[in-house]
Amino acid sequence: AERLCDEAPPLLHRTQLYTRLKSSIILFLMITEPLNFWAGKRREGQKDNKEPVYEPSTGLVLCHLEPCGAAEVDQAVRAAKSAFGHWSRMSGMERARIMIEAAHMIESRREEIARLEVVNNGKSITEARLDVDSARLCIEYYAGLSSTMAGQHVQLPGGSFAYTRREPLGVCAGIGAWNYPFQIAAWKSAPALACGNSMVFKPSPVTPVTAVMLAEIFTQAGAPDGLLNVVQGGQETGRLLCHHPDVAKVSFTGSVPTGQKIMEMASKGVKPVTLELGGKSPLLIFQDSDLENAVKGALMANFLSQGQVCSNGTRVFVHKDILPEFLREVVARTKAIEIGDPLLESTRMGALVSRPHLSKVLAFVEQAKREGATVLCGGEPYVPSDPKLRGGYYMTPCVLGDCRDEMTCVKEEIFGPVMSVLSFETEEEVLRRANDTTMGLAAGVFTRDVRRAHRVVEQLKAGSCFINNYNVTPVEVPFGGFKMSGIGRENGQVTIEYYSQLKTVFVEMGDVDSLF
């Protein structure tokens, strides 16, 4: 360890390697190796276009990203196409065995992957472990479904019949977001592979480190070389993937504007897309709610991953009769959230993903104040006492009171730890206001009245709804949005339909009855 750290390039300070990670040697090796991966090996990208990648908790350069151009993307897609030929002919049980082995390997490397996720993303180690668990569970779930892909038999007159075959699409492209790097890579690749497809995955250039580990794990688990490939880069790399003639489908997680561009590019080749986009989700808290659970639900709806969650319920509508008590409780608990080193077990809020993003979130808070909102707590830059962390991208979690529907903080996705609280009086009123948005990713309701709960959920225009909880995403359940929040679903049995295509076969058992 002493020799490796003495010889290490100045990507991470030597003291940081020793004091902030027990697995310092693993970290050094992982991040100095190439982050692109195809045909079963790590590969170099365009060395003359290297871009720095920063560690959010310290602000230090973590590594340098080598993006992929047209030649590299083509090599990755060709590797995926080659692997598809073998993988698609395997039985579902054969594919399942390899996927289960990959899941076991993820479980055995849980802490290592989680720590690298923290270093690359900035979220707390507690959350990162749960993300790794979600990735593993997703792979296990789709391994179980891989042998259930089946068609239908239809009996026709005269002994003739027809049947359907559910077949894979081919090479799928996955484009991930920076808030859940490893988990999103698994959520996209697991159903694709279970259906017999191969995949080329492009992580966010902000968080490029852990997706390549998933690709390596599948290879080590016995998958054919090229089954899961990783190409690094930004918009140009994504454009090359979308336009590549051998890519059959594109699955994207990210912002609405980028999703619109991807949908437009995919349309040139009439390629199906899955789009999991942004949200400005409502959380409705009625006067008969269990206040303790409602407060906890509001915190979970706003402050997971430093508020950088697309499904967050950032518009918190609280009935006027319980608003004062709710605000007292939610502000007190928000102030108590421990901010700091995301690798410490006690930390509940780490660093935002980048300095530009931190500045953007803080600017939203300032704009909210100018428009008349009251900052009840937080909304300021935070400087940890640990000198190693003083260059990190931290802020105090914020609760905004006196919010109105027309305010920017209520209408636009902030994607940071900012909760906007609004008052309401009637069910009809709050439903109208909750649905008054172009997005519809998620929504939640807290009430003890079971009839009201189901009545309200029925009228909420959102793809993922929660009753007396929030931001719960079991892999067995479909996740996705209405309106401009996306197309298609991730997770759940229905996702098999988005990574496969149906072929109809007609079988004539008699003579042709010709009109000619």
Yes or no: say if 46 and 75 are a contact pair by the CB < 8 Å rule: no
Strand partners, 423: 318
* Catalytic pick among 101, 127, 140, 276: 276
Q: Is residue 276 annotated as part of the catalytic site, yes or no? A: yes
Yes or no: say if 297 and 468 are a contact pair by the CB < 8 Å rule: yes
Question: Phi and psi dihedrals of 479, rounded to 5?
Answer: -130, 130
Instruction: Report the SS3 class of residue 378.
Output: coil
State how far the alpha carbon of 229 is from the alpha carbons of 73, 135, 315, 403, in Å: 10, 17, 38, 46
- Tell me whether residue 283 is exposed, middle or buried, using C-beta atoms within 10 angstroms of its C-beta: 0 to 12, 13 to 18, 19 or more: buried
Yes or no: say if 135 and 214 are a contact pair by the CB < 8 Å rule: yes
Q: In 43-91, which ranges are continuous DSSP H helix?
A: 70-87
d(CA 378, CA 333) in angstroms, rounded, equals: 12
d(CA 361, CA 308) in angstroms, rounded, equals: 10
* CA angle, 199 then 195 then 78, to 5°: 30
Q: Name the token pair of 6.
A: 């003495």
d(CA 416, CA 328) in angstroms, rounded, equals: 21
Give the DSSP H or E segment for 185: helix 181-194
**Nearest residue to 218 via CA among 138, 139, 149:** 139
Q: In 195-346, which ranges are continuous DSSP H helix?
A: 211-220, 235-243, 256-268, 291-303, 323-335
The DSSP call for residue 147 is: G
d(CA 337, CA 347) in angstroms, rounded, equals: 8
The amino acid that residue 250 corresponds to is: V
* Active site positions, annotated: 276
